[in-house]
A and B are shown apart, each in its own frame.
Chain A
């Protein structure tokens, strides 16, 4: 503590951290019970998923005739469930639905971010009359639950729009094409926009004015500034939101149920159907569940820091 004499910021910080260590030891001595309680909760929290994970590696007969907790006394593990599940055909195979999930999720992450970034740029760096009001309107759209939009939007896609007795928009004519992803892409894009504009605006408007002005002085137009300056500088926010949106779409069931119920169904939708039809086929449901979970878990462990940030930012979506 001899360094306290000099009042610089670094020593102040060091002082605080030393105080922290002192307190930490004191608290840790007084709370072994707290840690124990945490460990108990952590175990409780993990048991349900652990049980299904263990089951997914057991032979189908074993799963339905004995509890998974007995599996360790008489170990019999196999990968066959995963192989069989991937090939399992309901309306489509589980493997196809996994591919569908990717097909839905990648564009449905990219599109809203691109469009929202453009709107966010305009709201942040172009002055126009009514800007604040318009921005508040977009912001307020986060209030609208998805449920309010689903049915009319579906009808709009299939029946088009009539204005004053004239068909202005004939619809997308994709009713008979259950292999099309257009409706689910467009829907996810629209539903993501209010939140995406808001979050990206926060980050785009935080870029120092000097940087933007300097580019303008150098003769860069808005297009150039947008691509070369704002896009790279907003990358951390874009990454956080991209992860949030990717997981949101990957894990989504509701939008898929309405807009992608056929051979374009993602794995969440297929699993729900299987759970209803083959509720007792646990070899299928256990392996299927972990196939669906694996992608979010990889994202979670690989990109934990961005994941938390994106999660906190997007908490109220839906």
Chain B
């Protein structure tokens, strides 16, 4: 496989696309063909099943590349494949059913185990190892994160600020906008303006705002500083002063996420039963009372989903920091610092892993709460 990828890398980039897709297509085609013919009866098909069960694991291991000293891995693969075949012979649902199942599931499951389960477990282990990964150091990496003054601690504190501010402001703005444009004649057009930033990368959004916040000697080219000047103030180098710089970077996230919040909340508002709105109107409720007593209770589950989703996004912010300040001037966050710690020399893999684990720990309660919220919604 390595050889194939090396050869592929020699082609011009766009030429690599059809080649790799064709190879992938052939492999998937073979798998689906095998799935189709696997359960057929007859000696020929039995032999084919045996051959596939034994040879495919061997071939996969061989293709990944295995050293002579580890030839036992190949034998292990063959034995496992043979075992699969025997199990399949005795499968309740007939010959081939088990092999079919394996063919459908194993590509995705193998990739997940190799690329997500193993690395995540590895990161948990690394969080308790020294920065070069050689010795067990207990909680030292976490002590580093929580010792005042380390970049890890700055990142932690800033991340908390992000999670507190960004989701609330975004949800409120998104809700306000959804209510404002609801049933207005220009609803569709007005929505596009807010929604468009959702499609843009955070990198693009960051540069757009970096220009908006720009500061220089003499004539200002950044609109924000020009506005400051118009009101008689002194231009500020916005991205150098903490905590102002962090707050302005949070604005970038709010700018990109409000459209997302608005679309979800707007859909929920349209789902509120008409009679509830009419009843409120008959009772003489004014617009604010209607909003508080009918709209908000009616869309509460959606508000929670939006708020949680943006909280999770805020916890993982990387792009905005990388593009604007590179973590300078006290602006670093967990998602950024985690990458930074392995990019510096020598790489601080223990610190990085501890920060990654911290993100995981912070994200988990949100996801559990969200899952519960969704289940409750479905039960209703």
Contacts and interface: CB of A to CB of B under 8 A. Distances in A.
B111 A271 contact: no
A99 B17 CA distance: 11
B244 interface: no
A226 B363 CA distance: 36
A92 to B, nearest CB: 10
Interface string B179-190: 111011110001
A193 interface: yes
Contacts of A280: 216
A64 B342 CA distance: 36
Contact of A180 (B6, B194, B208, B338): B6
A315 to B, nearest CB: 5
B1 A148 contact: no
Interface stretch (A3-11, A81-89, A181-189, A233-241): A181-189
Contacts of A39: 190
A28 B197 CA distance: 28
Contacts of B322: 253, 257, 272
Contacts of A20: 274
Contact of B180 (A37, A47, A251): A37
A282 to B, nearest CB: 7
A180 B339 contact: no
Interface stretch (B101-109, B139-147, B163-171): B101-109
B350 to A, nearest CB: 11
Interface string A298-318: 011000000110011001101
Nearest to B200: A293
B137 to A, nearest CB: 17
Nearest to A174: B5
Given A107-B20, A149-B119, A312-B264, A27 B199 contact: no
A65 interface: yes
Given A46-B193, A174-B2, A30 B207 contact: no
Interface string B338-370: 110010000001001101110110011001001
A261 to B, nearest CB: 9
A169 B287 CA distance: 66
A128 interface: yes
Contact of A275 (B108, B206, B338, B349): B206
Contact of B111 (A96, A115, A152, A288): A115
A15 B76 CA distance: 71
A94 interface: no
Contacts of B258: 45
Interface in A51-107: 51-52, 55, 63-69, 96, 99-100, 102-103, 106-107
A66 B173 CA distance: 32
B223 A316 contact: no
Given A254-B318, A282-B211, A107 B6 contact: no
Contact of B112 (A48, A102, A190): A190
Contacts of B335: 147, 254
B284 to A, nearest CB: 13
Interface string A213-251: 000000001111011000000000000000000010011
Contact of A292 (B24, B112, B204): B204
B201 interface: yes
Interface string B253-277: 0010010100110000000001001
Contacts of A166: 67, 69-70, 72-73
A35 B180 contact: yes
B279 interface: no
A222 B36 contact: yes
A52 B206 CA distance: 11
B219 A271 contact: no
B359 A147 contact: yes
B274 A187 contact: no
Contacts of A106: 17, 21
A247 B203 CA distance: 13
Contacts of A65: 219, 221
A121 B32 CA distance: 12
Given A35-B180, A38-B177, A167 B67 contact: yes
A143 B363 contact: yes
Nearest to A36: B180
A172 B211 contact: no
Contacts of A181: 8-9, 13, 16, 20
Interface string A159-183: 0000000111111111001011110
Interface of A: 16, 19-20, 23-24, 26-28, 30-31, 34-35, 37-39, 41-43, 45-49, 51-52, 55, 63-69, 96, 99-100, 102-103, 106-107, 110-111, 114-116, 118-119, 121-123, 126, 128, 134, 138, 141-153, 156, 166-174, 177, 179-182, 185-187, 189-191, 193-194, 197, 221-224, 226-227, 247, 250-254, 257-258, 264, 268, 271-272, 275-276, 279-280, 282, 285-286, 288-289, 292-293, 296-297, 299-300, 307-308, 311-312, 315-316, 318
Given A107-B21, A285-B207, 8 more contacts: A37-B180, A144-B116, A147-B338, A151-B126, A167-B69, A253-B203, A253-B319, A272-B322
28 contacts: A16-B274, A23-B183, A35-B184, A37-B180, A43-B193, A48-B209, A67-B226, A118-B32, A126-B104, A144-B360, A145-B315, A145-B356, A145-B363, A147-B316, A149-B119, A151-B353, A152-B119, A174-B2, A180-B5, A180-B6, A181-B20, A187-B115, A190-B111, A194-B116, A222-B35, A258-B339, A275-B207, A293-B200
Interface of B: 1-2, 5-6, 8-10, 13-14, 16-17, 20-21, 24, 28, 31-39, 64-67, 69-70, 72-73, 97, 100-101, 104-105, 107-109, 111-112, 114-120, 122-124, 126, 173, 176-177, 179-181, 183-186, 190, 193-194, 196-204, 206-212, 214, 216, 219-223, 226, 255, 258, 260, 263-264, 274, 277-278, 281, 287, 305, 309, 312-313, 315-316, 318-319, 322-324, 326, 335, 338-339, 342, 349, 352-353, 355-357, 359-360, 363-364, 367, 370
